[in-house]
Amino acid sequence: MSQNVKGVILAGGLGSRLKPLTDITNKHLLPVYDQPMIFHPIRKMVEAGIDETMLVTGGNNAGEFLRLLGDGRQFGVRRLQYTYQKGEGGIAQALGLAEEFAEGHPVLVFLGDNVIADSLKPYVQKFRQHPQGGMILLKAVDNLSAYGVPKFKGAAIEKIIEKPKKAPSPYAVIGIYLYDASVFRIIKTLKPSGRGELEITDVNNSYIRKKRMHYGILPGHWADAGESIDSWFEANLMAREERKKRR
């Protein structure tokens, strides 16, 4: 039975890797070619058929999102809500703030500094038909030491290793996830990591241990616009090329 999937965009963080560009603004408000970065995940969700979205932000510039996005109707969003994450509690903690918004439905979680060429529609449609467990999206990249990397056993993921010195596969977990409603129960069981945060890798590994994690591999371009100044610049170039293709 197909279920409604709600969207959660995570747009907090201090943006320290993009300084000095982020000294006076949230990194997700920086331009990526001809649009603010935050437009990208919203448009990707609407394209995938998701019209109810919560934006989780933090820091000193949270009010700027409301000024920029309003109620989201300009993007085709039927319901756009906002919530605030105090401090740097981690991705899993930020997701946990959306439990009431999710109302028991599955969620598509999108880290707001991901810029992708591919449509998310086929992955969302597949998950809607069997909305149990989780699904992570992977992409083959070179700098694997900066990301969570899946270790495979046959065709299944055995575990996710965070920032490995020696990568067990050529794929990075890029920060786009689909979860059923049990994700919020999992988050409540987590303990802070050594850096004092609730880690999304721990969430994913919990699903993996229960053999309830699936995955998809993105074939098109991907850029992590928040990883470094160079990555942000690469995201701008990628967005420009994608825009040229649509003209």
- pLDDT per residue as tens digits for the range 74-85: 999 999 999 999
The pLDDT of residue 146: 87
Q: Are 193 and 87 in contact (CB under 8 A)?
A: no
Residue 194 to residues 90, 94, 184, 209: CA-CA distances in angstroms?
12, 17, 21, 22
Query: Mean per-residue pLDDT for 215-231?
Result: 92
Domain ranges of the chain: 6-246
Q: Is the pLDDT of residue 143 over 90?
A: no
The C-alpha atoms of residue 136 and residue 141 are separated, in whole angstroms, by 15
pLDDT at 40 over 80: yes
pLDDT tens readout for residues 145-158: 889 999 999 999 99
**Average pLDDT score, the chain:** 92
CA pseudo-torsion sign 173, 170, 236, 14: positive
DSSP characters over 62-97: THHHHHHHTTSGGGT-SEEEEEE--S---HHHHHHT
Domain 6-246 in CATH 3.40.50.300: no
Task: Find out whether 137 and 118 touch, Cβ atoms under 8 Å.
Answer: no
Single out the residue of 102, 24, 23 nearest to residue 64, CA to CA: 24
Q: Which of 84, 113, 109, 88 is nearest to 181 (CA)?
A: 109
